[in-house]
Amino acid sequence: MARMSRALRILIVDDDALVRGGLSMMLDGVDGISVAGEAADGDEVAAAVDRHTPDVVLMDLCMKRVDGIAATRKVRARPHAPEVIVLTTFDSDENILHALRAGAGGFLLKDTAPPEIVDAIRKVAVGDPILSPRITRRLMDRAATQAGTYEQARASLETLSPREHEVVVAVSEGRSNAEIAARLYMSVPTVKAHISSILTKLTLDNRTQIALLAHDAGLA
């Protein structure tokens, strides 16, 4: 809620100066969003996060020294970590899965329309995962069929209470907190408490990873 009471601070990470400039010009004109800073490679991200304290990092995937997956993993391991949206031209299954498992809250392609990028920033800032629509089905199909993940995912979910298990299924269906509350006859704060408990028990970072785990376990 604190993030939503002021302009969202964005850090743009891309090794192409033209891309950084274009994104900066686009986002700085949007109400409620402020470009706090830029970084030209993954090895600059940690220092840039310290300096600019962003709410959301727009992360390129392929960079010369440190790639976006490694940089995302390092950022998300920090206390009070900003959310990360990977913004790339490379949409292979491996790239998508590695980015999400590293803690990215979103994965968008660089040809995504500007209004959709803005919408993704706002949603990821409050914990709602965002994927480019055309890669969502392919990603989930791949996640559900990876060798060895089914048994591991099932074992992880066995640590949850029956109520938490129901919340996991609802999250995997892309339902918002309000929709989950209505479906399961509980309050929104209770839904949030369950999600926090699930993330802690399963050592996950965000709702996207909950959804991936649910698909690994064949729940959706």
Query: Could you give the C-alpha distances from 64 to 57, 86, 178, in angstroms and in order?
Result: 18, 16, 42
Q: Which residue has the higher pLDDT, 60 or 132?
A: 60
Q: Assess whether 202 and 119 both reside in one domain.
A: no
Give CA–CA dist 89/136, Å, rounded.
Answer: 15
Q: Which two tokens stand for residue 31?
A: 């109400």
Give CA–CA dist 9/219, Å, rounded.
Answer: 36
Give CA–CA dist 32/30, Å, rounded.
Answer: 6
The predicted pLDDT at position 181 comes to: 92
Q: What is the pLDDT of residues 105-146, one digit of tens each?
A: 888 888 889 999 999 999 999 888 887 766 666 665 655 555
Domain end residue (candidates: 141, 169, 203): 141
Burial bucket for residue 158 (CB in 10 Å: 0-12, 13-18, 19+): exposed
Domain end residue (candidates: 141, 160, 177): 141
Q: Which two tokens stand for residue 200?
A: 């802690």
Q: What is the pLDDT of residues 76-106, one digit of tens each?
A: 988 889 999 999 887 676 788 788 888 898 8
| CATH number of the domain enclosing 98 | 3.40.50.2300
Residue range of the domain that includes 188: 148-216
What amino acid occupies position 177?
A: N
The predicted pLDDT at position 2 comes to: 47
φ, ψ of residue 59 in degrees (nearest 5): -115, 120
Domain end residue (candidates: 119, 141, 163): 141
> How many residues would you count in the chain?
220
Q: Assess whether 156 and 133 both reside in one domain.
A: no
User: What's the average model confidence in pLDDT over 159-164?
Assistant: 92
Burial bucket for residue 137 (CB in 10 Å: 0-12, 13-18, 19+): exposed
| CATH number of the domain enclosing 194 | 1.10.10.10
The pTM of the full predicted model, rounded to 2 decimals, is 0.67
Q: Assess whether 137 and 154 both reside in one domain.
A: no
Q: Assess whether 128 and 88 both reside in one domain.
A: yes
Cβ atoms < 10 Å from Cβ of 153: 22
